[in-house]
Amino acid sequence: RMKIDEELKELQNRIDSWTPPKEITLFSELPLSSRTLKGLKSSHFLNPTPIQSLAVPQALRGQDILGSAKTGSGKTLAFLIPMLERLYLDKWGPMDGLGAVVISPTRELAVQTFTQLRDIGKYHNFSAGLVIGGKPLKEEQERLGRMNILIATPGRLLQHLDSTVGFEAAGVKVLVLDEADRLLDLGFLPALRAIIGHFSPVQTTSSSRPSRQTLLFSATQTKDLAALAKLSLHEPLYINCNKPG
Ligand code: ADP
Ligand code: MG
């Protein structure tokens, strides 16, 4: 316990005093917990991609992010890493309930994200589950109450938020909207609007840090994205790894 407290304090100091170096070649140069670094290493992730180097340290500071980088550039770890670190820094435990939610446009993407989370998060003690339909609602309902992290598709998540007794999104610390351009292409804007309505209203404390952090990632920046960003993000930092033109 003492050892963890010391690590958390040191981590928070490194995050607070973070100034981006010219170049980052190793994950171990980022201000990350030993558990996450171990998970990355055992999954053979050693060198962060550009979107990961840029977005992870900023997200660790609690800021909302709108990140865009083309398909295949590693956006999944760009949000999974800060999500795990947020819960770890907050000493999130099994009894603290739902702490993070990732919304994916399709079941396939949700499963991929879940698999990557299980790989890099295996040295943490968080419970994680998929909410993607395809199974009886009741079966999912029974597992939901025990989950710290959910990877979900919009329709099914909304179904639970509307109908599962005791399923609470108000305490969620990190909300991720992944592949936001595809979410919009698939017509999920109304569902997303309803989902975001279930999450705690973004409160600005005296330290001006909102109680919930939202990370939005997209391969492209379409016009509709601005509407979704306005709906969900609070003073976001824009990180664009796509070459102009
Ligand atoms: P995107 O969401 O931007 O399309 P993904 O997060 O799905 O990209 O990553 C694409 C592929 O790159 C995946 O197979 C993933 O495992 C791999 N990958 C991601 N980050 C790294 C990294 N830092 N080092 C090596 N491979 C990586
Ligand atoms: Mg992706």
Predicted local confidence at residue 245, as pLDDT = 45
CA of 81 from ligand 1 middle (Å) equals 13
User: What residues flank ion ligand 2 with Cβ within 5 A?
Assistant: 75
Per the listing, tokens 């997209």 go with 218
Asked if residue 214 lies in contact with residue 234, where contact means CB atoms within 8 angstroms, the answer is yes
Query: Does the pLDDT value for residue 211 go beyond 50?
Result: yes
Average pLDDT on 93-108 reads 94
- Binning pLDDT at 50, 70 and 90, where does residue 45 land? very high
Interface confidence, given as ipTM, is 0.99
CA of 78 from ligand 1 middle (Å) equals 9
CA of 1 from ligand 2 middle (Å) equals 35
How far is the CA of 230 from the CAs of 13, 116, 196, 224, in angstroms?
31, 29, 12, 10
Per the listing, tokens 């330290």 go with 207
Q: What is the residue-averaged pLDDT of the chain?
A: 92
Domains, the chain, in order of start with CATH, read: 2-240 (3.40.50.300)
Q: Which ligand is nearest to the CA of 67?
A: 1
Residues with CB under 6 A from ligand 1: 45, 47-49, 52, 69, 71-77
Q: Report which protein residue has its CA nearest ligand 1's atom 19.
A: 74
- Binning pLDDT at 50, 70 and 90, where does residue 145 land? confident
Mean pLDDT lowest among 62-66, 75-79, 197-201: 197-201
Average pLDDT on 25-46 reads 97
Q: Report which protein residue has its CA nearest ligand 1's atom 2.
A: 75
Query: Does the pLDDT value for residue 188 go beyond 60?
Result: yes
Residues facing residue 152 across a β-bridge: 103, 131
CA of 135 from ligand 2 middle (Å) equals 24
Residues facing residue 151 across a β-bridge: 102, 130
Query: Does the pLDDT value for residue 2 go beyond 50?
Result: yes
If one residue of 49, 83, 106 were mutated to test the ligand 1 pocket, choosing by the most ligand atoms within 8 A of its CB, it would be 49
Name the token pair of 121: 């998060």
Predicted local confidence at residue 76, as pLDDT = 98
Q: Report which protein residue has its CA nearest ligand 1's atom 17.
A: 74
Give the predicted TM-score (pTM) of the model: 0.95
Q: Report which protein residue has its CA nearest ligand 1's atom 24.
A: 45
CA distance 181 to 94: 33
CA distance 222 to 224: 5
- Binning pLDDT at 50, 70 and 90, where does residue 139 land? confident
